[in-house]
Every structure is written in C-alpha cells, then in structure tokens.
Structure 1
Amino acid sequence: MRALIATDLDRTMIYSSAAASPAGRALGLHSGEPGSRPVCVEIYRDAPLSFMTPAAVDALTALAARTPVVPVTTRTREQFERIDLPGSPFEYAVVSNGGRILHHGEDDVAWRRALERRLAAESAPLEQLHADLLGRIDDSWVSSMRIADDLFAYLVVDGDRQPADFVTDWQAWCAPRGWSVSQQGRKIYAMPVGVTKSAAIAQVRRRLIDDGALDADAPILAAGDGRLDADLLVYADHAIRPCHGELDEAGWTTPGLAVTAHAGIAAGEEILGWFAGRLSDNTRSSKHSPVPDPALAEK
C-alpha cells in the first residue's frame, strides 16, 4: 500500500545533541561502535547541529523509496535546506509552517500568493504584531526576536527568566487579531491562524492524486511533537507523536493517536518503524474522499 507520509522534523525526525537525550544530556558523538553513533544530518556555522540514529537514516531512506514522504517544518526554506535529510531529494516539502510549498526544490509561487491574500483578509498585519511585541519584551529574558519569511515572528528566550504570564497575555492580544501563540522549548512563535501544515499538506495531496502518484483513497500518515503540528495530526488518517515535547507536556491527544514508548532521538526511530508498519496495512483513507478541497487550492 502507498500512503502520503507527512512528518515534522525537529524533535520528531531530527534532534540536536541536547534534545536527543530524554534527560537533556548532550550526545556522546564519539562513543560506542561506529555503526551505533548518531549520524549528523545538519551542519550550521561549521558545527554539527542535528542528528538521527543510523537505523533511522536507513528507515527514512527506505520509506522514501516506497511512498511519497513530505517533510513538514516550521523552518524557513533556508533553514530547511541546511539539512541533508535521508531519502532526499523529496518531490515536495512544506516549510514556514505551511507558508511555502517546495516542488522539486522550487517555490510554489501560486500557493504563496493565495496564502497572502487570505492572510490580508483574516489576520492583522505582521507589522502591527511586531510593534506590539516590541513593547512586551526586553533583553533580560529574550536573546533574539526574528521575523521569518515575512510571515511570522518568533522569540528565543531564557525560560528561567521568562515572565510566567507572557504567553497567556500575548495570546489574549493575538487571538482576536487572527494570530496564535505557541511555545516550543526556548522558542515562542506567533503565527497567523491561516498558516497551517494541514492546509499545505491537503494541497500537496491533491497534486499527487492529480499527477497519478497517489490513489484518491490513500491514507495520510503524520508525525509531530509541537502545537504547530496539532492540526496536521488531526487532519491525518493515522498519526503519531513522541512522548516528549510540547504536545506531550500538555497531555494533548486526538482519536486514534499513537504515542511512542521512547523519548529523545530513539523516538524518531520508533516513529519511522510505525510508518513502515502502517504501510503494510490495507487501511484506506476515511477522511479525504475523494480529494480534499483545500481552502487555498490554486493551480
């Protein structure tokens, strides 16, 4: 059976040295037998940044050879392209949390233009959000504030010094203006509500079906660890999340959701095994008949 596999990357498929261990200890990159050492899949500023287990590298490579795999990430295109992800090149990738779809590495301009029209109608301008944010933060607990892809904003913070009510208070300002707030570790995101991973994956699914690369009743399998993945996990026919991360800390669930037994880098390996097991099933899609009608579909 073929399926569309849509997977988040950071802390789902790939892990920093600190995030790889459930206890937050840095990886022993040079310990153990060579075949068991974590494999570096991202270099940043001339230093290794992200890793997978050797078994996960093999598993993702094998999956990508069997069925469409779509990396789905909040990273910008530039940040995504730093990763040497096993199984690449991928026909499709979703970056900027759904703000961009890449097809054979090229930006889908029509998707982005349609998205910008929708955001103009539904969300306050990014400039207004930025101005409000500057009045709420200071460098005693915020190490950087960034605008990503001219689309959303995020902070890198010191969690120990972060005001306890910051996220709640800012969400109260953002929600009526068409924005959502999510904290994932040291990063706090403000995202327009119309920018979602599920909408972008619905569009990718539609195109794969139109191209004959996917049956109309092929299921969507998805994985993710943070609140910005929740809509994708709900949209999928079958979904899994690791037993760590923002969703786990919140006790988040949805009907049929699987949760890994392992945390840290071992969860990525477990998720890939779960995907492979689902491909052996004959379960067809029960949510997307015959083709989804994505709000932003545009040829």
Structure 2
Amino acid sequence: MRPRTTLVASDLDRTLIYSAGALRLTGPDAEAPRLLCVEVYQGKPLSYLTESAAALLPRLGAETVFVPSTTRTREQYRRIRLPGPPPEYAICANGGHILVHGEPDEHWHRAVAARLAEESAPLAEVRARLLATADPAWLLKERTAEDLFAYLVVERALLPEGWVKELAEWAGPRGWAVSLQGRKIYAVPQPLTKSAAMREIARRTGAERTLAAGDSLLDADLLLAADHGWRPGHGELADSGWSAPHVEALKESGVAAGEEILRRFLRAGGRAG
C-alpha cells in the first residue's frame, strides 16, 4: 500500500454537508437521492449528504490525509458524525484550532492568538460595530466564536442591500474580512485562515500534494494555497465569479455538488482502482 501523500482539506457546510434548506433538490421527488443525516442539533436532524457521498468518505480517509476544514467552533464540529473512522486532523474556527485525534493543539492556538493580537483590531471593537449598526428588525442572533471572531444570524430577506459591503469596507483597514453565508454574516480576522492550518498539517504529515474545496469567501485562501481545488456551483465564490487557474468551478450545486467534490478528490488524490 502506498503511503498517503495527498492531503485533502475540505470545507464542510454547503461544500460536503448540507442543511435541508441548502440541498437544492430540483428534480422530481421520486428521483431524489437517498440522504444520510450526519448532524443532529437539539434532537432534530440538521445536516445531510447523499448515501453515495457517504460511501466515498471512508475510502477518501483511507487513501488520503482527509482534513475537515471548517469555520465551525469545536463544539459545533463535534456534532458532525461523518461516515468512516474519525479524521486524525481537523481544522476548526477557520484555522484558530487544529484538532489532533479530536483534541485541540494548544501550542498552535496560542501562536494564532498572538498573531491576531499583532495584526488585527480587537474582537471587542468589531463586535461593537456589528451591534451598533445591525437592525433588530433583521438581526436574529449575535455570537462570538472561540473568542476569535464574530457572526450574526439574520433574516436574509430583510437585510438591507449594501449593508454587508459597508461593513466589509469598514473592517478591511482594521485587518478583518466579512463573509455572508446563508443567514450568517461572519467577521473574521484576516490572519485567521484555514490555509495556514492546512500548511501546518501538511508539514506534520509529510503530504506532498494538497487538494481543497470550499464555497465561501472564507475558503478562498484555502483554495489558493492548495495544489488543486474545486468550488461548487453555488455560494459566495460562485455568485461573485471568483476563479483561479488551478480551481475548477463545478456545474453541480447543492448536495449533488458535495458528492461530485468527493469523486474529484478521489480521482485526483486516491489510489487507482
């Protein structure tokens, strides 16, 4: 058996796994793919992938270094039960935490926190701006994540046109990035990246090649840092027309894109046969 020399870093939400509202099952109900629930929240099913995708994941884990790479907090990530053995490594909080066999690498986290303190405005300043400018008419929740970044849950239909752009223009000079994903608006320090964590895991595992997938602007750095990448036909990157020479834009959207991404990972990084 050849050693696993390919590292696969993939975003989760709206890339590999999908809520009911993000499935995009547009065909006849009788022809819809069978789905597997991989996350339960407050006693209710929350996230899914197709059964065909579920069958591919254990093989991907066996043939590559598969690294779930998410903006989710550690607590939110641990709700997900992907098929196959648990990955040895995972990236949480957009790179703020590396999990090794499910446990956080505190040395990595301290190094990230020190860099953020040097290069970005304080979280408290950004949170104050969010609360001062958000309208209760469309703001549903306000949260901070791992003391690293902030996000809002909003009523998307009532969100004023241009509000996110104005926030991004304010945040940019302060070293922060803004991303709108579904009903969530993220404000994240620019040095807090999945790509930095991916490079560290590649160094530790000796991976010779990196593959990545993602759908949002927060995944752009991950895609750019990988040797090859894919983005689905939905999401911020697709909506903005974002592209890079080594990143393939898939025509599939919704849960079908998640299945196709796994097939592409295996073709590019798995063992033949």
If the length of structure 2 is used for normalisation, what is the TM-score? 0.94
Structure 1 position 3 matched with structure 2 position 13: no
Q: In structure 1, how many angstroms separate the alpha carbons of the residues matched to 2:230 and 2:203? A: 22
Structure 1 position 221 matched with structure 2 position 211: yes
Q: Could you say what the CA RMSD is over the residues aligned between the two structures, in angstroms?
A: 1.9
Structure 1: stretches of 5+ with no match in the other structure: 283-299
2:120 to 119, 123, 130: 123
Q: In structure 2, how many angstroms separate the alpha carbons of the residues matched to 1:141 and 1:77? A: 27
Residue pairs, 1:11-160, within 5 angstroms:
11-21=14-24, 36-160=33-157
Aligned pair count reads 269
- Kept in 1, the 8 Å contact 2:60–2:66? The answer is yes
Structure 1 position 275 matched with structure 2 position 272: no
What residue identity is the alignment partner of 2:81? D
Q: Deviations over 1:51-97 (max 9, x none)?
A: 11111001111110111100000000000000001233111000000
Residue 173 of structure 2: aligned partner: 176
The structure with more strand, counted as a fraction of residues: 2
Q: Percent identity?
A: 50
If the length of structure 1 is used for normalisation, what is the TM-score? 0.86
- Residue 168 of structure 1 aligns to a residue whose secondary structure is helix
- Kept in 1, the 8 Å contact 2:11–2:214? The answer is yes
- Residue 252 of structure 1 aligns to a residue whose secondary structure is coil
What residue identity is the alignment partner of 2:163? F
What residue identity is the alignment partner of 2:140? S
Structure 2: stretches of 5+ with no match in the other structure: none
CA-CA distance at 1:219 after TM superposition:
1.1
In 2 relative to 1, CA 109–143 (structure 1 residues): closer, same or farther, beyond 3 Å? same
What residue identity is the alignment partner of 1:161? L
Residue 261 of structure 1: aligned partner: 251
The structure with more helix, counted as a fraction of residues: 2
Moved over 3 A (4+): none
Q: In structure 2, how many angstroms separate the alpha carbons of the residues matched to 1:270 and 1:278? A: 12
- Kept in 1, the 8 Å contact 2:63–2:271? The answer is no
Q: In structure 2, how many angstroms separate the alpha carbons of the residues matched to 1:12 and 1:165? A: 26
Residue 250 of structure 1: aligned partner: 240
Q: Deviations over 1:161-212 (max 9, x none)?
A: 1121211211122111111111112111000011000011011111112xxx
Q: In structure 1, how many angstroms separate the alpha carbons of the residues matched to 2:147 and 2:212? A: 27
Q: In structure 2, how many angstroms separate the alpha carbons of the residues matched to 1:49 and 1:280? A: 29
- Single out whichever of 126-135 and 240-249 deviates more from structure 2: 126-135
What residue identity is the alignment partner of 1:252? W
CA-CA distance at 1:261 after TM superposition:
2.6
- Kept in 2, the 8 Å contact 1:65–1:87? The answer is no
